[in-house]
Chain A
């Protein structure tokens, strides 16, 4: 059986591949959404922080002999701490200003960080091996599924849903959401709002770093890996609706699938299709598919 000249079996494969790539989009756009939703900062440093996550994994292996599983734990914390330092020293001065200032500042930081890494490590990237436990793969009949890719999809889905649950369904999450609506009032209830915001930024950055560690065995650990991805991820966030947690998760996975199918039917357009969708969504629903009109 074929659909538009492509065997259905091949389409199943592409669907799965799309979901895997979507897992990265979801994880990254989730971090962006958390940061935007609670801090009102459009965090353009996100791509650089994703790259830093991959590099920390590489350094841990080279310098400390700590493998992938440790990296998964340590890298988000380390990069998250650099994020907190960034927030404490610079970003917090911008909260009362227009979004544009935060965007410019974080974009500047992204360029500096990427430039420094590129200067030191070149542009062709460094090798990072697959963890031994996840090497190999399964033959699903319609495709060969590498174990590592299956792991990526399961792990990132778990992280996404946990984050959503914490923010939308727990007491901590309700404090966070209340603090975005009316920080003065929440502060009056005795909750340390600035500290909460700082930690939230650290968490969002940690999510980016986590995605970086997940990506390291698939791609090269490359100073430019984030720069290429961040623009797409921003389009995902815009389509999903800025600040909507569930929106960014669902759109992340969905757009991964759309992109995957484009690679079969019209591969030349595979890096533009997301932007075409973004333009269409902005025309029809300017606040995004899941966003609330403000």
Chain B
């Protein structure tokens, strides 16, 4: 046997072997929904994200297409160490192929790194930090729904342009709050505004009166809430008590979800303006989804997080089917290559840095009298087109872009 024939033989064998390698690992596509199931982010993500992922698997018709998909979920309790341990266990021992959702940027950044090390796939719907497609971007991660840059760009711009040029930040003291404050501050300064002060509070704070008093004393026109979930609702509720709005100051809820508005009630939430990338009452398709979703989620209507979990799963399954493989980096690459199209976000794309691109909406919470039916909460004030809604590709500092 000559050297040339051996090389040829190896070549043939490798070619023959490659389709055999590119297949669904252990015959099952296993999706792990990792989020807060029990604390302040449990309603805006929580079981709702699990329901959304299940609906995506059903709507995709995975079984009919011969694809076996299994969904598991776990509670990371907003602790990066618990989240990391769960992610490792899922990837190493339980053959999970994709981790989905992961609210709390602190936990998401940890899972982002683990996913990359293990060569698996990660679709972020809840976590907000724009670093996930910036300096921490990864070939194994897609950031689907929104990020701190988009929120800053949408809400920050709108507020400064309507005269809110002096700001005081009340910020959740962890990765997400810091990123949101940083991105909004940049927008405020760029538009000629000023930041008069900031205070950082521990995650999951009950009483905001002390921070509100500091915000009041700053005399800033706008009190920017760089926090989320229960922290935001508590701050707004207590702000009303301390006469913040009556005193001429205004809240800018930088990240507010549909479930927060529901919890506050329209009486307290009316007039709040903020940025969302999805609202259940946008069109026929979103309404149909919301109806089916609410039936399975204790009547709670879908937040943009839930929509992202649904659409992300749908697109993931498309890529897996096209590739006939669930190998992490390859599926993510395929997802970036295929144009996205789903009933909730419409047509869109995924950039090389992992950023999913779609329009964002500047919404205002309705007055109680304007709300005609349950969960009728938002007026769409402006649509920010997809190409302007997210940070330009060259400004994130993502290493994947330079290549």
Contact with B along A1-25 (1 / 0, CB 8 A): 0000001001001100110110000
Q: Which of A76-116 contact B (CB under 8 A)?
A: none
Q: Check: A144 CB closer than 8 A to any chain B CB.
A: yes
- CB contact between A122 and one of B199, B200, B201, B298 (< 8 Å): that residue: B298
Q: Is the CB of A118 within 8 A of B202?
A: no
Size category of the A interface is 35 or more
Task: Check if B210 sits within 8 Å of A260, measured CB to CB.
Answer: yes
- Minimum CB distance partner of A121 in chain B: B298
- Cα distance, A32 to B242, chains bound together (Å): 31
Is B237 on the interface with A (CB-CB < 8 A)? Answer: yes
* Interchain nearest-CB distance for B276 vs A (Å): 16
Question: Which residues of chain B from 289 to 337 have any CB-CB distance to chain A below 8 Å in the complex?
Answer: 298, 300
- Residues of A with C-beta under 8 A to B268: 127
Residue of A nearest to B247 (CB): A144
Q: Which has the most chain A C-beta neighbours within 10 Å: B41, B199, B217?
A: B217
Q: Count of B residues near A, CB < 8 Å?
A: 44
With beta carbons under 8 angstroms apart, the residue of A13, A148, A220, A222 that contacts B213 is A13
Task: Known contacts A122-B298, A137-B243; decide if A17 and B230 are in contact (CB<8 Å).
Answer: no
**CB of A263 within 8 Å of the partner chain:** yes
Q: Flag whether B38 is at the interface (Cβ < 8 A).
A: yes
For residues 248 through 276 of chain B, which have their beta carbon under 8 Å from a beta carbon of chain A? 259-260, 262-265, 267-268
Task: Check: A268 CB closer than 8 A to any chain B CB.
Answer: yes
Q: Report the bound CA distance from A130 to B44 in whole Å.
A: 26
Is B214's CB within 8 Å of the partner chain A? Answer: yes
State whether A124 touches B229 (Cβ < 8 A).
Answer: yes
Residues of A within 8 A of B43 (CB): 122-124
State whether A21 touches B207 (Cβ < 8 A): yes
Q: A123-B40, A225-B206 are in contact. List 15 more A-B contacts (CB 8 A).
A: A7-B217, A10-B213, A17-B210, A18-B210, A118-B42, A122-B300, A123-B38, A123-B43, A124-B42, A124-B262, A137-B242, A224-B38, A267-B202, A268-B202, A270-B202
Q: Which residues of A contact B (CB under 8 A)?
A: 7, 10, 13-14, 17-18, 20-21, 118, 122-127, 129-130, 137, 143-144, 146, 148-149, 218-220, 222, 224-225, 228-229, 260, 263-264, 267-268, 270-271
Residues of chain B having any CB pair with chain A under 8 Å: 38-44, 46, 173, 199-202, 204-207, 209-211, 213-214, 216-217, 229-230, 233-234, 237-238, 241-243, 247, 259-260, 262-265, 267-268, 298, 300
